[in-house]
């Protein structure tokens, strides 16, 4: 694997370093992207399921979608974000729920 980018996410608890192919999508908090060629090399099984533009797949932690018009890229976001997109779940904090 290539030398890790100093901006690559590192887990403070276990020291796990995220795969450096992922770069932040600046205009979408929690999303990241990678060139499809890198994705194919690092995640060959998942890449087989992204056969065309807008195809989606997921693993235990992330949802992946093939995007891009001029550049062939994959966007990724944490699965937990799907439930945050469903605003109803987050309208109340746990202490408010009890009330």
Q: Give contact residues for Zn ion (rule: CB under 5 A).
A: 11, 13-14, 16
Closer residue to Zn ion (CB): 17 or 37: 17
Task: Write the DSSP string, 30-96.
Answer: T-EEEEHHHHHHH-HHHHTT--STT-EEE-SSEEEEEE-SSS-EEEEEETHHHHHHSGGGGSS-HHH
**Closest distance of CB 83 from Zn ion, Å:** 21
Closer residue to Zn ion (CB): 10 or 55: 10
Closer residue to Zn ion (CB): 16 or 98: 16
**Closest distance of CB 81 from Zn ion, Å:** 18
Sorted by sequence, the CB contacts under 8 Å of residue 61 that are 6+ apart come out as 78, 79
**Closest distance of CB 17 from Zn ion, Å:** 10
């Amino acid at each position: 694997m290539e030398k890790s980018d100093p901006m690559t996410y590192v887990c403070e608890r276990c020291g796990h370093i995220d795969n450096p192919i992922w770069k932040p999508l600046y205009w979408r908090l929690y999303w990241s992207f990678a060139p499809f060629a890198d994705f194919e090399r690092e995640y060959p099984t998942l890449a087989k399921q992204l056969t065309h533009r807008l195809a989606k797949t997921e693993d235990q932690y992330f949802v992946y979608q093939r995007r891009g018009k001029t550049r062939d890229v994959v966007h990724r976001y944490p699965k937990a974000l799907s439930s945050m997109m469903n605003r109803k779940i987050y309208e109340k904090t746990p202490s408010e729920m009890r009330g």
